[in-house]
Chains A and B, each alone.
Chain A
Amino acid sequence: MATRAIAMEDEKTGEVTEAVYEHPFIIRLCHWVNALSLFVMVGSGLQIFRAFPSFGAKIPQKDLINWPRSLALGGWLGGALQWHLTFMWIYIATGLLYFGYQIFSGHYKQVLFVRRDVPGLWPMVRHYFFFGPKLSVREAYNPLQKYAYTSVIVLGVLSVLTGFAIWKPVQFSWLAWLMGGFHWTRLWHFLIMWVLLAFVFGHLVMVVLHGWNNFVPMLTGWKEDPEYRLE
Chain B
Amino acid sequence: MNSPTDSRKFKSINRRELLKLTPVVVLGAFAIPKLQAPLLKAGLGFSDWASAKLFRSGHLAPTFADSDLTPFAKFPINDYDVDDPEVDLDKWTLTVTGAVQKPGDYTLAQIQALPKVRQNTRHVCVEGWDVIGRFGGARLADFLKTIGADSTARFLTVECADDYYESLDMAAATHPQTLLCYEMYDQPLTREHGAPLRLQIPTKIGYKQAKYLTSIKVAHVLDRVGYWEDQGYSAFYGL
Interface residues, chain A, with chain B CB atoms under 8 Å away: 5-11, 16, 18-19, 25, 28-29, 32-33, 36-37, 40, 48-49, 51-52, 54, 57-59, 61, 77-79, 81-83, 85-90, 167-171, 173, 177, 182-183, 186, 216, 219-222, 224
Q: How far is the CB of B202 from chain A (nearest CB, A)?
A: 7
Q: A7-B4, A8-B4, A219-B18 are in contact. Are A85 and B43 (CB under 8 A)?
A: yes
For the complex with contacts A59-B75, A171-B239, 13 further pairs of A-B residues with Cβ separation under 8 Å are A11-B6, A19-B10, A49-B128, A51-B128, A54-B129, A58-B129, A78-B233, A79-B232, A85-B234, A90-B27, A170-B62, A171-B238, A182-B122
**Cβ-closest chain B residue relative to A28:** B21
> Do A78 and B129 touch (CB < 8 A)?
no
Q: What DSSP secondary structure best describes chain B's contact surface?
A: mixed
Interface residues, chain B, with chain A CB atoms under 8 Å away: 1-8, 10, 13-15, 17-18, 20-21, 23-24, 27, 30, 39-44, 46-47, 50-51, 54-56, 59, 61-62, 70, 73-76, 122, 124-131, 202-203, 228, 231-234, 238-239
Residues of A close to B42: CB separation below 8 A: 86
Q: How far is the CB of B70 from chain A (nearest CB, A)?
A: 8
Docked CA distance A11–B9 (Å): 10
Residues of B close to A87: CB separation below 8 A: 43
Q: A171-B55, A222-B13 are in contact. Are A82 and B40 (CB under 8 A)?
A: yes
CB<8 Å pairs between A and B, sample of 10: A6-B4, A11-B6, A25-B17, A32-B24, A52-B125, A82-B43, A83-B40, A182-B122, A182-B130, A222-B17
Docked CA distance A16–B155 (Å): 72
**Cβ-closest chain A residue relative to B50:** A89
Contact of A220 (CB < 8 Å), options: B18, B56, B234: B18
Residues of B close to A183: CB separation below 8 A: 130
**Cβ-closest chain B residue relative to A183:** B130
> Do A222 and B56 touch (CB < 8 A)?
no
Residues of B close to A83: CB separation below 8 A: 40
> Do B54 and A86 touch (CB < 8 A)?
no
Q: A52-B128, A86-B43, A89-B46 are in contact. Are A173 and B62 (CB under 8 A)?
A: yes
> Do A220 and B6 touch (CB < 8 A)?
no
Q: How far is the CB of B92 from chain A (nearest CB, A)?
A: 28
Docked CA distance A183–B131 (Å): 10
Docked CA distance A88–B47 (Å): 9
Q: What 8 A-B pairs have minimum CB-CB distances, sorted nearest first?
A: A86-B43, A52-B128, A58-B129, A51-B127, A78-B232, A85-B47, A82-B40, A170-B239
**Cβ-closest chain B residue relative to A26:** B20
Docked CA distance A182–B126 (Å): 13
Residues of A close to B10: CB separation below 8 A: 6, 8, 19, 222, 224
Docked CA distance A11–B5 (Å): 9
> Do A36 and B46 touch (CB < 8 A)?
no
Q: How far is the CB of A81 from chain B (nearest CB, A)?
A: 7
Q: How far is the CB of A39 from chain B (nearest CB, A)?
A: 10
Contact of A81 (CB < 8 Å), options: B50, B202, B233: B233
Contact of A36 (CB < 8 Å), options: B24, B47, B70: B24
> Do B4 and A58 touch (CB < 8 A)?
no
Docked CA distance A177–B70 (Å): 19
Q: How far is the CB of B124 from chain A (nearest CB, A)?
A: 7
